Structure 1
Amino acid sequence: MRLLASFVFWLLTTVALAVAIPATWAQHNVVDRNGYSEFATSAAKDPAVQQTMAAALTSQLMALSANSGYDVNETLLSGAVRAYTSSSAFPGQFALANQVAHRWMFTDTVGQSDTSGRWEIDLSPMLADSSFQQTLAGFGIKAPETLEIPLTEDMSQSLRPGQLRDAAKWGPLVSVGAGVLAGVFALLTLAVARRRGKALVALGVSGLIVGAGGWAGIEVGRRYVNDALDATTADVRNVAAAMVDHATGNLHVWLNLTLAAGGALVVLGFLASMVGGMRRSERPSVSD
């Protein structure tokens, strides 16, 4: 009976941990507004994000200069924009622009559309740097008060304002609840098991399963993420894809820590089992 109970608690621990790790990561880096702002600031230091954002800004500024009647050398402008996106001022301003996108996805109270019904995002915070504005002035471009680019090609049913507001509502509860349950079930597993060393090994295996399963899950999930990104415009898709790559790398770190913790528990469990076995063998028998 104790063997069955310990197996059930171990299984529940594994399931709860499998929910807790990605849910906690998502809550910290995506759902929470401040956490997402920190994530965007970190992502803006990634050369891949800087390059794709430079290409998007160059595209929009070239269109702006053409509408204003200026003949701008795109190569020179692109170089100036790349210098800006690699500067220390870019991460903070990139985070401000991403806060707008975050509110767009996690609430249904912000966002506007153009005449064709496409939802837009304002990139003007990234033009607020005074040195960058002086650079643009050298090309005859006056930094606009707003620089709105469409997020989607049309009024997509797969990408709309407020689509993730339920995640903002339930995310904290799921992440904290799953973490608490994983801890409770792990303690129950240890309490019910006949051999604590073997129970530690089993809990370590749970960490290894969740870590390895997370790696596999990311690869499967990328297909669905790419399908969602296909609904966005080219510039937005390139930037978003670079940020997804950055997020994937960050999540891999969490999964690697889970694997490391699982491996440590396996080793600790084996050592505990060995010590327990030695102690039992040294005990005098009843006949003695």
Structure 2
Amino acid sequence: MTLRTFVSALGVILALLLTAVAVPAAWVDQNIVKEEGFVRIAGGLGNDPDFQSRLAAAAVGTFESSVDLPGPIQSLAADALRNAATGMQSWSDYPAAWEETVRNSHRLNFGAAPQTEEAATTTALVLDIGPLVRLIRDHFAEATRIRLDVPAESLVSLGEPSHRQLVERVAAFAPLWWLAAAGALLASLRALAAARRRSLVLVFLGLGGLALAALWTAGSDLAGGIVGNLASANGVAELFKQEFLTTARTGFGQWTLIAAVVSGVVLVVGIIGSVVSGRQGSRSARS
């Protein structure tokens, strides 16, 4: 093996290893660490009927426990709260309240917002259903003409302290994906520059990319299974976790598919280049 071949092979291996890290880290950064990506994924959970029902019950329970209703209106309040528990998701202002819930929760869990005393004392992941509690308060005020004060935040625990520690590590390292991506690009270019037959480098990069796509698919299924088996604090947390995992797998699967298609194109280009260069070499030998 010549030095050029060794350098080229080393570049291909390094490029694939760095790509194996860069793509999942980039997806996590764009879709979980960054607020807008998290809202895109978690926002759809508000349309799940089972999750809506559990969430509405939790919001109603929080509202009831945070206010002191006068005796004469308790029966009227009971009817209004039953309507909220069963029909809150049909209210026109529910989608905006749910989006605010998701945004507030992301900021609390990823440290993008100043924490209140209640949030600072918890060491677990939380879902802030305060916007939904305020939504119930507003509709309750419309029905009873009584406006009550409710807490600014109403936190529902989503897991154990170890889960929050994992999120903090992810939030620290995922944004560095571009370093791995830049390294993969430089390694690929170095492999191409050192190779005697650049088409073979493209073939190996394409094959490696297809292998990585399969590895990412298997890895996402494995990670989803591990996270899915983690203990949840309550029914709302369990539904949130399962639905979020399903949506996240689908989203990452789209990235994996794109990576597989790009790798396939690189492989085909490399094969075509190898065939063309082989024919040219044969003609040169004959002449």
Q: How would you bin the TM-score normalised by the shorter chain?
A: 0.7 to 0.9
Q: Which residue of 1 aligns with 2:275?
A: 274
Amino acid in the other structure paired with 2:19: L
Q: Which residue of 2 aligns with 1:248?
A: 249
Change (3 A) 1:10 1:140: farther
Aligned residues: CA RMSD: 3.4
1:134 lines up with 2:139 in the alignment: yes
Q: Deviations over 1:197-245 (max 9, x none)?
A: 12111111121111111110011111331244x2432212212321221
1:106 lines up with 2:113 in the alignment: no
Residues 25-36 of structure 1 mapped to structure 2, 5 A cutoff: 25-32=27-34, 36=35
Q: Which residue of 1 aligns with 2:173?
A: 170
Q: Contact conserved, 2:11 with 2:188, CA < 8 A, in 1?
A: yes
Residues 66-85 of structure 1 mapped to structure 2, 5 A cutoff: 68=69, 69=74, 70-72=77-79, 76-84=83-91
1:145 lines up with 2:150 in the alignment: yes
Gaps of 5+ in 2: none
Residues 88-103 of structure 1 mapped to structure 2, 5 A cutoff: 89-103=93-107
Question: In the aligned structure 1, how far is the partner of 2:22 from the partner of 2:158?
Answer: 32
Question: In the aligned structure 2, how far is the partner of 1:117 from the partner of 1:127?
Answer: 20
Task: Write 1 or 2 for the structure with the bigger share of helix.
Answer: 2
Amino acid in the other structure paired with 1:233: N
Q: Which residue of 2 aligns with 1:57?
A: 56
Identical positions, percent: 20
TM-score normalized by structure 1?
A: 0.78
Q: Which residue of 2 aligns with 1:259?
A: 260
Question: In the aligned structure 1, how far is the partner of 2:237 from the partner of 2:149?
Answer: 19
Cα distance, 1:171 vs structure 2: 2.8
Change (3 A) 1:52 1:140: farther
Q: Contact conserved, 2:18 with 2:183, CA < 8 A, in 1?
A: yes
63-72 or 264-273, larger mean C-alpha shift: 63-72
Question: In the aligned structure 1, how far is the partner of 2:158 from the partner of 2:46?
Answer: 25
Q: Contact conserved, 2:19 with 2:181, CA < 8 A, in 1?
A: yes
Amino acid in the other structure paired with 1:93: A
Q: Which residue of 1 aligns with 2:237?
A: 236
Q: Contact conserved, 1:14 with 1:206, CA < 8 A, in 2?
A: yes
Q: Which residue of 2 aligns with 1:124?
A: 130
271-280 or 177-186, larger mean C-alpha shift: 271-280
Q: Deviations over 1:139-177 (max 9, x none)?
A: 899676336143057xx44244x663343333322x010
Q: Contact conserved, 1:200 with 1:265, CA < 8 A, in 2?
A: yes
Q: Contact conserved, 2:31 with 2:41, CA < 8 A, in 1?
A: no
Q: Contact conserved, 1:6 with 1:188, CA < 8 A, in 2?
A: yes
Question: In the aligned structure 2, how far is the partner of 1:182 from the partner of 1:143?
Answer: 58
Q: Contact conserved, 1:53 with 1:239, CA < 8 A, in 2?
A: no
Question: In the aligned structure 2, how far is the partner of 1:178 from the partner of 1:265?
Answer: 20
Count of residues in Structure 1 that have an aligned counterpart in Structure 2: 273
Question: In the aligned structure 1, how far is the partner of 2:54 from the partner of 2:253?
Answer: 27
Q: Contact conserved, 1:44 with 1:50, CA < 8 A, in 2?
A: no
Question: In the aligned structure 1, how far is the partner of 2:62 from the partner of 2:99?
Answer: 24
Q: Deviations over 1:47-87 (max 9, x none)?
A: 75465134312343156458744433887544422313xx5
Q: Contact conserved, 1:200 with 1:266, CA < 8 A, in 2?
A: yes
Q: Which residue of 1 aligns with 2:191?
A: 189
Change (3 A) 1:143 1:222: farther
Amino acid in the other structure paired with 1:56: L
Q: Contact conserved, 1:10 with 1:185, CA < 8 A, in 2?
A: yes
